[in-house]
Chain A
């Protein structure tokens, strides 16, 4: 009888490769930025700058050095947690990102949480409709929703929601940032406004932030939940028609237990999709952040690119890539924990 490796062995194997893989990821980030044609300094100063000014800037920012030495500086900076200094804000890039990341994190985490809350029960319900007319209707709705949500530009959806709920109905706050201008931000403990507001009992800040996050979260959730729902419905439907469900039912196990078995078997692919979507949301919530002026991580990246702020762009891409890599790693581990066949 063959036996699957224990989860511990599997985890160790995956984590052992962590450092070398991280190294590859940050190198890829560096290469990616360098791929972009043009001279960063010239781009930053714009078309009307003199050659002299450009050259001065190059020396000042250290990009007159050879590529290899720049790479070396990049790596050594990384080892110290230093991503350089932004050309625009003159602040450390790590500081810039640190200031902006919490908003993005709250945005995408809330999005993912609500997406799962809608998609998983929804998908199970669609799958449980069984056979006949109701089932076909349910699947048609799920399919229609999937197609629609995938076809809508999310920035357009966000604007539509602003139009309806702020301009027309006046029930949502305007797209002017995370907090109302007359509300003071809560004392910073974790850096996450929602959490800090709760911890310090600052209800006005909490409700203000929550209200401002409502439309962005709804927009992203609408788009994110769709593929999750379709996948859950599809996987559950398959599971409910499988041999092991048939056997479990034949042997008299309760419906609840049978559904639990089916859900257990489908947990891995569903969570994988959710994880991939989460990783994509890190850089993918950009336009929503911009529309709602949330001042997030993605928005920072966009502004950096448009201004040709080279270190900021490099820092952003490095962080985003590393984050995605870490998320995929966690995903792998979770998959290994849930499904022994994967090990």
Chain B
């Protein structure tokens, strides 16, 4: 289980307003400097695309038995077939839509909810914000997987439920991070100057606070998207997440594991590889963003 979400960077990048980017030259520099970022984003985009286009590119339907079960990888079945006779390769492709869809949707949702609330709480220094932060700190002590499991078991096995559950579990992280960033930035000279100059609050928040807080938030979001995927697949693995016949990588692993001892490795290995590559991509993106923030900070 990843603990990375609780070890997020909490420093503010405050030193001034953001510089605008400059087109193609910047893009070339970006590739040289941030190979990880580009590679990571490319993989994520690829996986998302695969998921979207699965009905078009998959050689077989995801839930139609084509015949022999537990066929090893070979002609016609790149990844072999599972115990019911489904083509593993096609199911891996179809599962992309569920897995990366949930990860991205849940992350987007928790960002949309957690960040504005966090910024508001940090800027207005409200007691409600402090209380909310303390409360969420307390709940951090509980085993996340079990809590998620409980919620998922009670709510039922639908992808949309999983999105809400994962978003719900993640939102406090962004709330806390955004709040901390905002609190620090609030005291930064350039923000104070804006306040004194009479700029209105929403404008300050959007023009000064948000761009400077965006870096750590995005880095955290990327890591958490990967974590959301691991959580989803873990829940499905125990049967509380997405259920067959819908293709989902974790559920596929669970299904495959029943035949592992017989030596039929392919229904287990390939879905796991898919998870690993996708989460790795999120990790690369997050690292690249963090490194960029550090680099910017050092230059200043």
Contacts and interface: CB of A to CB of B under 8 A. Distances in A.
- Say if A and B assemble together: yes
Given A150-B283, A151-B279, A276-B7, A306 B141 contact: no
Given A290-B238, A320-B142, A153 B154 contact: no
Kindly state the interface size class of chain A when it binds its partner.
35 or more
B237 to A, nearest CB: 6
Contact of A287 (B139, B234, B280): B234
Contacts of A281: 1
A156 interface: yes
Contact of A159 (B144, B253, B275): B253
Nearest to A301: B146
Interface stretch (B84-92, B201-209, B263-271): B263-271
A193 interface: no
A163 interface: yes
B269 A33 contact: no
A317 B147 CA distance: 8
A153 B240 contact: no
Given A147-B283, A159-B257, A287-B234, A32 B239 contact: no
A225 interface: no
A153 B272 contact: yes
Q: Which of B7, B143, B234, B263 has the most CB of A within 10 A?
A: B143
A160 interface: yes
B82 to A, nearest CB: 15
A280 B155 CA distance: 24
Tell me the dominant secondary structure on chain A's binding face.
helix
Interface string B245-284: 0000010010001001101010011001001111110111
A38 interface: yes
Given A150-B4, A306-B149, 10 more contacts: A29-B142, A151-B275, A151-B279, A151-B282, A152-B275, A156-B275, A286-B143, A298-B146, A305-B149, A321-B142
Interface of B: 1-4, 6-7, 138-139, 141-147, 149-151, 153-155, 226, 230, 233-234, 237-240, 250, 253, 257, 260-261, 263, 265, 268-269, 272, 275-280, 282-284, 287
5 contacts: A28-B138, A43-B154, A153-B233, A167-B263, A287-B237
Interface of A: 24-25, 28-29, 32-33, 35-38, 43, 143, 147-148, 150-156, 159-160, 162-163, 166-168, 174, 227, 273, 276-277, 279-284, 286-287, 290-291, 298, 301-302, 305-306, 308, 313, 316-317, 320-321, 324-325, 328
